Amino acid sequence: MFAEDQTLHLVVIDKDPMFALGLCALLEKRPQIRAFAKSPADLLEAAHDPASQNTTPVDMVLLDPAQLDLTPARLAQRLFERFGTRRLISYTNDPSTALAKACLASGFRGVLPRSIGLEQLEQAISVVHGGATCIDPSFSNLFEAAQPMSGTLRQRDLTEREIYVLKSVAFGKSLKEIGLELALSSKTIETYKARGSSKLNLQGRRAIVEYAIRNGWVQSQERLG
C-alpha cells in the first residue's frame, strides 16, 4: 500500500459532481491521498484556458472514458496536456472489450469496473502509483482468447534491455520517459522496442499490452491483497 511519507494527488473526473465529490471524500480518509473533483466540462475547457490550469501537481487521474466524446488515445493526450501525468485509471460502467483494449493500448495504467469495492479501488490506485498496471479480472479475461504465442516466441529470446523497454511500453510509458530512465535517446528506445516486438511477432502497442498481460508483466486485482 502507500508509504506513510508519500502524498498522492488524485483527480476524479465524472459528469455527476456528487459522485465525484463523494468518492474524493472517501479516498481522502487515507492520509496519503489528496483528491480533487472535476467534471468533463472542466477538463475540456481547461485545455484551452491557461489561466485555469491546476497549480497542484497531479499524480493520477481517475475517470470513466465512456463519459467523454474523445477516443482513449486523444483523451490520454489531453489529460497529459492538462495535468502532466500519464497515470490514468479507467473506472467505468462500460464493460465492453473495445473500451478496455483501447484504454490499455492508449497508455492507461488501470482498467476497473465501478462494481469493485473501495478497498479494491485503493489497492489499484496504490499499484498504479507504484508504476505498475492494474487490470481487474473482469477485464483481464478479455485477453484469454488471444492467439497463443508459439514455442519459439519466448521471453528468453529477448535481451534485458528489450524486456525493460517492452514492459515500460506496456505500463503506458512514452519512449521519451523510458529514454530518460535509461539515459538513452528516444530513437535508441524505439530500436529496442522494434527489435523486441519483432522477436515476439508483436504489431503495435495493443499487442505488447496483451503479451504483457498473458505473461504476468502487469498485475490484476485478484493478485492484490
CATH number of 99's domain: 3.40.50.2300
111 shares its domain with 186: no
Averaged pLDDT for residues 101-112: 88
Domain boundary among 143, 174, 202: 143
pLDDT of residue 207: 81
Position 147 pLDDT exceeds 70: no
Q: What angle do CA 124, 173, 45 make, to 5 degrees?
A: 80
Structurally, the chain folds into a number of domains equal to: 2
Averaged pLDDT for residues 124-131: 87
Position 215 pLDDT exceeds 70: yes
Please tell me the pTM assigned to this model: 0.68
Q: Does 107 fall in a domain?
A: yes
122 shares its domain with 186: no
In the sheet where 88-92 sits, what is the strand order? 33-38, 8-13, 60-63, 88-92, 110-113, 134-135, 219-220
Identify the domain containing residue 70 by its residue range: 8-143
pLDDT of residue 190: 92
Question: Which DSSP state fits 147?
Answer: P
Poorest-pLDDT segment among 167-176, 185-194, 208-217: 208-217
Cell of 189: 528506445
pLDDT of residue 1: 53
Residue 209: which CATH number?
1.10.10.10
Q: From CA 192, how far away is CA 42, in angstroms rounded?
A: 39
Position 36 pLDDT exceeds 90: yes
